[in-house]
Amino acid sequence: MAKLAEYHNLFPALREFVKTGKPVWGTCAGLIFLADRAVGQKEGGQELVGGLDCTVHRNFFGSQIQSFEADISVPLLTSKEGGAETFRGVFIRAPAVLDVGPDVEVLAHCPVPSNKVLYSSSTVQIQEEDALPETKVIVAVKQRNLLATAFHPELTADTRWHSYFMKMTKEMEQGGSSSSSSSTIVSVGETSVGTELAKPDIPIYLSN
């Protein structure tokens, strides 16, 4: 995805879109794209769109054959959308969020087995944590207009993340309507002057 964006010179347009404050949702590789910082990258590094004040590990959970599904706790999603207290996350060669800035809201964690190799974002070193009990890692975050998930909600029948994003989009449109400029239409040959609000921009969705 990064190679295609670089080849077609899409990074400047994507960064500009993110800066406008319009809603953006990145899943899996989209999460990596939106992060300000990334570790565990391929040789030569990877260009990022940025916007999310967080550090991600590109392939935290391993290679393609180590893809998995897991029930993750989603208290905020449940409070907003109802339903079960967990969500079945589909992780495909998935990244994970190692740390977040003060303005980033953590929406979900995923358990990590005690024999899993963990990555330290502060030292960017790999270390075995065999002696530690089961821990967890961040897999969903939100910062202002940006939503990001390390898993693929579109591969399940549970539509709550999509509903959450659409409501987030609507709230941002309503919040910006008072400050957004409107276009005035004057009908030739008539004395009435009408006002028409500009059509809202379509939110963008980044995935791999």
- Residues marked active site are found at 28, 152, 154
Tell me if 92 sits within 8 A of 64, measured CB to CB: yes
Tell me if 151 sits within 8 A of 77, measured CB to CB: no
Neighbours of 67 (CB within 10 A): 14
Tell me if 21 sits within 8 A of 53, measured CB to CB: no
Amino acid at site 21: G
b/e burial code for range 126-155 (CB count within 10 A of at least 16 → b): eeeeeeeeeeebbbbbbbebbbbbbbbbee
Tell me if 71 sits within 8 A of 36, measured CB to CB: no
CA angle 164, 170, 174 (to 5 degrees): 145
